Amino acid sequence: MKIDKRVTPSGTTKVSTAKGKAKAAPSSPQGGSDSLTLTESSTRLRTLESQLASVDITDAGKVESVKAALANGSFAVDAEVVADRLIDQTKETLRKRPRKK
């Protein structure tokens, strides 16, 4: 089983939107604030990313069928399949682990 780790930006960023190409903001030598100008397509992409992050990807029908099988006692676990997948996951974890020299 793999877990999707989604990183969402934290903190606040001052963002202004503009049509056309992105332009760098002039820097002020006295300090001040940072700014970022995004193109219309960048702004649209950000909006779509946030909408996709909130989409529920669970299969409601499958969840309900498993709940029903658990409730009536007909849910069966194939121990061989579970064991094979545990072994596969362990092999994958060991392959990814850095080797000691």
Q: What does 30-67 look like in DSSP terms, one character per residue?
A: T-----EEE-HHHHHHHHHHHHHHT-----HHHHHHHH
Q: Of 16-20, 32-36, 88-92, where does mean pLDDT reach its minimum?
A: 16-20
Question: Does residue 7 fall inside a structural domain?
Answer: no
Q: Mean pLDDT of all residues in the chain?
A: 78
Question: Does residue 69 fall inside a structural domain?
Answer: yes
Which range marks the domain in which residue 35 is found? 15-96
- Flag whether pLDDT at 88 surpasses 90: yes
Question: Does residue 38 fall inside a structural domain?
Answer: yes
- Flag whether pLDDT at 12 surpasses 50: no
Q: How many domains does the chain have?
A: 1
